[in-house]
Amino acid sequence: MQSVYLKAATYNFDFKNTYSKERCLIPLQELLKSSAFLVDDSCVFAVEILKIDVSSPEKKAVVVQKKATIVQNLFVQSKGFIKGTYTWTMNNFLELDLKHFIQSPTFEVGGQKWYIGMYPRGDKYSTDCLSLYLYPDVSDELQLESKKVAVMTLSILDQKNGKHFTRTSGLWVCGQGWGWPNFLGLKKLKDPSGGYVVGSSCVVKADLTIVGSSNDG
């Protein structure tokens, strides 16, 4: 009989916390080198959901219902990654800054179309920050049926000093967008010495690496 040892990396969410405050669940290089998380290019992710029903004040009882575990199989390659880069130059950023949401033209990486989405004054989750995300193009339905697993980096380029502001995701199953509501503070973004907005020009760069695929188990 062969013994199997299970190892898990976990993160707990609550009802109001819909996204992880951690940069990533597990670093990609650690995952790729692990014989416990990654077996024959297969990695299994599970989600456990607890639903709490609160009864009337008279009874003061709380019932916790445990839902069935949802399993999603991730197939992570150890080599042969597909990489792509897209640079979005906005020469009229001061005009776009007045809008709630703006998006880049679509670009293609790994046979899938993508676009950068920006909330110049922040989305509902941000606090005095620009919000920045990368999205798969939902009109590309055939490609979305087989979800890709990727790691991406978004950057706002410093056009004066070359000190670009960058954030990198963990492993991302590309069914929906991924990004940061508090990507960069508005005060820092518009600081003339920073070089992130020069005149009316702002440049955003996306680096995307597709490392595998996913299907529902």
The confidence score (pLDDT) of residue 105 equals 96
Q: Is residue 61 part of a domain?
A: no
Q: For residue 155, give the CATH number of its domain.
A: 2.60.210.10
Domain assignment of residue 26, yes or no:
no
Domain extent at residue 194: 82-216
Domain-located, residue 173: yes
pLDDT at position 101 is: 95
CB 14 within 8 A of CB 23: no
Number of compact structural domains in the chain: 1
Q: One digit per residue, pLDDT tens: the chain, 217 residues?
A: 333 344 455 555 444 455 555 556 677 777 777 766 666 666 666 555 544 444 444 545 555 555 555 555 555 655 678 899 999 999 999 898 889 999 999 999 988 899 999 999 999 999 999 999 999 987 755 555 567 788 899 999 999 989 999 999 887 777 788 899 999 999 999 998 889 999 999 999 999 998 877 765 4
The pTM for the full model equals 0.66
| 13 part of a folded domain | no
pLDDT at 104: 96
Query: In sequence order, what E strands does the chain have?
Result: 42-47, 50-54, 62-66, 70-76, 82-90, 102-103, 107-109, 112-119, 129-136, 147-156, 165-168, 172-173, 178-185, 202-216
> What does the pLDDT read at residue 29?
74
- Extract the tokens encoding 198: 């020069």
Please indicate, yes or no, if residue 88 is contained in any of the structural domains.
yes
Residue 97 lies in a domain: yes
Nearest to 192 by CA among 160, 157, 170, 216: 160
| 204 part of a folded domain | yes
- Backbone phi and psi for residue 173, each to the nearest 5 degrees, phi listed first: -85, 115
